[in-house]
Amino acid sequence: MTVPLEGLMAINKPIGISSAEALRKLQRIFKPSSIFAETLAAEAAKRERESKGQQRRRRKQSARDLEVKIGHGGTLDPMASGVLVAGIGAGTKQLQQFLGCTKTYEATALFGAGTDTYDALGKIVAWGKEGSCGWERITEEVIEKELGAFRGDIMQKPPIYSALHMNGKRLYEYAREGKPLPAEIQSRPVSTVSLELLSLTSDHEYEYPAEEVPDEEKIALLAFETKPTTAATTTAAASTEEKATGEKRAHSPEPEDEKAAKKVKESEGEGEPVAETDTAEVITVAVETTPAATLPKKPEGKPPVATFRLTVTSGFYVRSFIHDLGKALGTEAHMVKLVRTRQGDYELGGEGVIEWEDLMDKGEEVWGPKVEGILNKWAEEKKGKK
C-alpha cells in the first residue's frame, strides 16, 4: 500500500501575501497533484470512518471539499518574505516546535519617521528631530554603540498593531477602531542571540509613507505607547515595577510559555507569547511625549537606511526593535523590509526550502520531485527516531 505523503517542508514566501493565503495557494496546487493523490484518498477514508456526529460537524462536506491538510509554524506579515515552515498531514502535529525555535532575519530600517504600525504599511505618527539630534548624526559607530542595549536578554514592548490579545480582543482591532486599550501594553522578556549591522547607506529608493496622522492623534499615540521611566535601583525594587522597553532582564532558563503559545499565534514578528520574568536590572531607553506645538516636522534631505541581521527567540518583534532603536538614536525609524532567512533548521537556499516561483510558475514535473523528496526524507528521519 502506498503511504500518504506528509511531513514538514518550508517555502520561501514572497512579499505581498499573508501566510494563510500562501497555504491556500499551496492547497490549490497540491489538490490535483499526482504525488498527493494517496494523501487525499487517506483523508477521504478517514472521514468515512468518522461518527455521524463528526460528519455533521463537517457540514456534509463531500469528496470535492477535500484538501491537503496544511498548517504553518509561525506566520510572516504580508510585507515580509522568507522561510515559512509548513506541516502537511501528520506534519502539522510537529509545528508547535517552530513557535519556540530561534529565527534569523535581515531587516531594513528607514530613519527620520516613525509610523503607527512600526513599518512601511502604516501612517506617519512622528518625525525625527532636525539638526544634531536627528538622523544626520547617525553613523555606523553611533549605531554600534546603541546596539549593545538590544543584545541578549531584554524587555520589549510589542506594537499596538499586533495580533496579541487584550481582554479577548486583538490589539490591532482596538487600533483600527480608534478605541483606547483597557490597559497599557506590557513589555515582555525576549532574547537577541545575535545582532549585527550589515550596512548603512543613503543610496536607496525607499520613500516615507504618503499618509500622516493628525497632530492630535500623534500626541495620543505617543503618550499611549510609552511612559517615562526611571532606572531600577535594585533587583527587588525592579520586580515590583513594570520593566521598560529596552531594559536588560534577568536571565531565565525557560523564557517561553508553551501553554500561551498554543493559544496565540502572531505574525512577525507577530512573536509568540512568552512568560514574564520577575526581575530587571538595567534601563536604556525612555520615550517622552511632545506638545503638539513643538512636534517635529518632516526633515530635509535624504535619510539613511540601515540593514541588520539578527537571530532572536520566540516573541521578538523586529518592528519594535527598529522603532526602539530609532528612539535610542534620537530620531524615529520604521521597518521597510524584512526577510526571514532561517527558522529552526530551515534556511533560505537549503534543500528543505522550496522556492515560491517553482511552485507557482513551473509544473509539477519541476516542484513535484523536490516536495516528494523533502517529505519522504522527513518520514525516514521520523522512522529512524522511533
Amino acid at 178: G
Long-range contacts, stretch 49-52, CB < 8 angstroms, 24+ apart:
none
165: alpha, beta or left? (left if phi > 0; alpha if psi -120 to 50): beta
CA distances from residue 142 to 69, 136, 283, 311, 326 in whole angstroms, order as listed: 49, 11, 19, 21, 12
Question: By the 8 A CB rule, do 163 and 127 touch?
Answer: no
Long-range contacts (CB closer than 8 Å, 24 or more residues apart) made by 366-372 = 368/33, 368/34, 368/35, 371/5, 371/9, 371/35, 372/5, 372/35
Retrieve residue 98's grid coordinates: 517552530
CA dihedral over 285, 132, 194, 118, signed as positive or negative: positive
Name the residue type at position 364: E
Candidate list 77, 116, 153, 324, residue with the active-site label: 77
CB-neighbour burial class of residue 338 (10 A; exposed 0-12, middle 13-18, buried 19+): buried
CA distances from 106 to 118, 198, 262 (A): 16, 9, 27
* Distance of alpha carbon 82 from the chain centroid: 11
Task: Please say if 77 is a catalytic residue.
Answer: yes
Task: Using DSSP, state whether 170 is helix, strand or coil.
Answer: strand
To 5 degrees, how large is the angle CA 161–CA 163–CA 168?
115
| 296: Cβ contacts below 8 Å, ≥ 6 apart | 126, 127, 128, 129, 130, 134, 290
The catalytic site residues sit at 77
